[in-house]
């Protein structure tokens, strides 16, 4: 691994030094100690990257579908060569256990590359509608701002469809988990991506992110992160009237209907909630159960939650690693404390690190019961391994509670009757609805309602976001 590139940016097909020499420590959350340094960019670095992307756009936008398919396949092949390096980086920078880093974090990045190739081979960029030719064209230069929690997922589900569309781009990865992005840029270089098509500038949101959002030569900004930051991106982008695509926060409800098989439904629901140490925006963190079955649900959930081993991400025995940072750890502790003080029943877990761990941002897997909709743990995105069990009286009340949130990223419905689950699922105000803990589907649209964002990612839905629609009227005379 070329650690020298940690202190450089990838611009116009080359690794270059920042205009201003400023560095930031990258912290290993399992030790609370730095393990690498990166350079922090300035607005001038963004300007340089945008200039390269703008110069490359005319040529790259006119490449054929076959040329872009071949390029994406080459990227996939190089990605496979670096898979272990990427897994090691993700584990060090954001605390994912190595097995999870390989099997989930690295895997999903590869899955998006595979999926977009399949989509691109059959996508209709042009078709006739009467005497009008409808043409889908690349939107232009895209600014991409990605988070730390699923870094390869968010990089690839933006970069891959943007390339498929014929766009050029400037990526700002998270400064908290930046090393995987350095390796990804090396993958792009090794795959022969034409110079200027893909550019990467490391930095903070208030400097690099802000300049990307406001830059007059960027045609679109695609952002994944918190709703608070998403609002700032949208405001910054407004003056240039660029397209803004956002995938933001969530507070997903998991409705266990009265006819649900709790023993079958709850353990996989806990796994989805606690996976990635709870750091997933679509995690089912609010489990709604019939009041008369809450005691049964608590017993099953307690048993399932107690099986999770929290520990060193490099040990095979660890199922959950630390959360990503001290700021995240402190936020989770504050919210757990609020649940206790507001009167929720603490079933398992609670404040502080798990037993035997005195260093690292480790959080105890935590279950609350008797949670009311007004409590902070029921309203705010915790982003940690914390589940709130909320009793309800009627199905209508459950639906109301599920939808009674500013978010709308995902919803989960469990029932022994698929027809019943479908009926309740149709009433969920969320971008993705999961019925009875289904298998993962990389081809499903991903995105949110309300303050969970706008636009969609993954598969052809992601490709659509990077295209403009043109009507050529009179193309064909009757």
- Tell me which residues are annotated as active site: 247, 281
Q: At what angle do helices 151-165 and 179-190 cross, to 10 degrees?
A: 30
Beta bridge partners of 220: 142, 243
Q: How many helices (H) and strands (E) does the chain have?
A: 16, 20
Q: E-assigned strands of 156-238?
A: 168-172, 198-200, 220-224
* CB contact burial 198-218 (16+ within 10 A = b; e otherwise): bbbbbbbbebbbbbbbbbebb
Which 3 state secondary structure label does DSSP give 147?
coil
71, 163 contact by CB (below 8 A): yes
The alpha-helical segments, DSSP class H, found in 342-478 are: 376-379, 395-403, 418-425, 459-465
Tokens in use for 423?
């009926």
Q: At what angle do helices 179-190 and 65-81 cross, to 10 degrees?
A: 130
Q: List, in order, residues 6 or more apart from 90 with CB less than 8 Å away.
A: 96, 101, 105, 106, 151, 152, 177, 180
The tokens 């997922």 sit on which residue? 153
Which 3 state secondary structure label does DSSP give 25?
strand
How far is Cα 365 from Cα 285, in angstroms, rounded to an integer? 12
The tokens 């459950």 sit on which residue? 398
Closest listed residue to residue 267, CA positions, set 322, 307, 228, 304: 304
Torsion angle (degrees, nearest 10) of CA 190, 193, 195, 198:
-100
Pairing of strands 386-392, 286-290: parallel
341, 427 contact by CB (below 8 A): no
Please report, in angstroms and rounded to a whole number, the separation of the first and last CA atoms in the chain: 61
How far is Cα 409 from Cα 280, in angstroms, rounded to an integer? 11
How far is Cα 14 from Cα 3, in angstroms, rounded to an integer? 15
Which 3 state secondary structure label does DSSP give 288?
strand
Residue 378's region, left for phi above 0, alpha for psi from -120 to 50, else beta, is alpha
Per the document, the length of the chain is: 478
Closest listed residue to residue 137, CA positions, set 244, 242, 246, 62: 62
């Amino acid at each position: 691994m070329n650690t020298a590139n940690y202190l450089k940016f990838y611009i116009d097909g080359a690794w270059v030094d920042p205009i201003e020499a400023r560095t930031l420590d990258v912290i290993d959350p399992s030790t609370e100690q730095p393990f690498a340094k990166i350079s922090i960019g300035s607005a001038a670095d963004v300007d340089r990257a945008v200039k390269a992307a703008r110069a490359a756009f005319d040529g790259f936008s006119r490449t054929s579908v076959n040329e872009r398919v071949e390029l994406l396949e080459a990227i996939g092949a190089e990605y496979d060569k670096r898979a272990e390096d990427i897994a090691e980086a993700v584990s060090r920078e954001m605390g994912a256990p190595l097995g999870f880093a390989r099997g989930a974090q690295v895997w999903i990045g590869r899955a998006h590359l595979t999926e977009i190739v399949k989509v691109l081979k059959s996508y209709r960029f042009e078709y006739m509608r009467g005497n009008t030719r409808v043409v889908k064209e690349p939107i232009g230069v895209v600014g991409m701002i990605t988070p730390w929690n699923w870094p390869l997922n968010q990089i690839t589900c933006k970069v891959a469809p943007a390339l498929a569309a014929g766009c050029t781009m400037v990526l700002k990865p998270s400064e908290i988990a930046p090393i995987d992005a350095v390796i990804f840029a090396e993958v792009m270089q090794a795959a022969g991506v034409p110079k200027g098509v893909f550019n990467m500038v490391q930095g903070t949101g208030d400097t690099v992110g802000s300049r990307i959002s406001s830059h007059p030569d960027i045609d679109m900004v695609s952002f994944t992160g918190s709703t608070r930051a998403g609002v700032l991106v949208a405001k910054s982008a407004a003056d240039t009237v660029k397209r803004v695509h956002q995938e933001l926060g969530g507070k997903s409800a998991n409705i266990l209907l009265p006819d649900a098989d709790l023993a079958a439904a709850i353990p996989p629901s806990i796994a989805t909630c606690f996976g990635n140490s709870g750091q997933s925006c679509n995690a089912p963190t609010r489990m709604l159960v019939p009041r008369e079955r809450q005691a049964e649900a608590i017993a099953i959930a307690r048993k399932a939650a107690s099986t999770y081993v929290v520990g060193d991400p490099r040990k095979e025995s660890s199922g959950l690693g630390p959360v990503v940072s001290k700021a995240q750890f402190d936020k989770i502790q504050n919210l757990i404390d609020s649940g206790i003080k507001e009167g929720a029943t603490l079933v398992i877990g609670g404040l502080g690190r798990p037993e035997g761990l005195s260093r690292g941002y480790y959080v105890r897997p935590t279950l609350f019961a008797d949670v009311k909709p007004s409590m902070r743990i029921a309203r705010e995105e915790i982003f940690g391994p914390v589940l709130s069990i909320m009793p309800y009286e009627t199905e209508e009340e459950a639906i109301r509670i599920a939808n009674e949130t500013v978010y709308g990223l995902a919803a989960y419905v469990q029932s022994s009757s698929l027809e019943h689950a479908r009926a309740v699922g149709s009433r969920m105000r969320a971008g993705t609805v999961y019925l009875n803990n289904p298998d993962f589907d990389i081809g499903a649209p991903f995105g949110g309602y309300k303050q969970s964002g706008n636009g969609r990612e993954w598969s052809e839905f992601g490709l659509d976001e990077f295209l403009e629609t043109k009507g050529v009227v009179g193309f064909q005379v009757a």
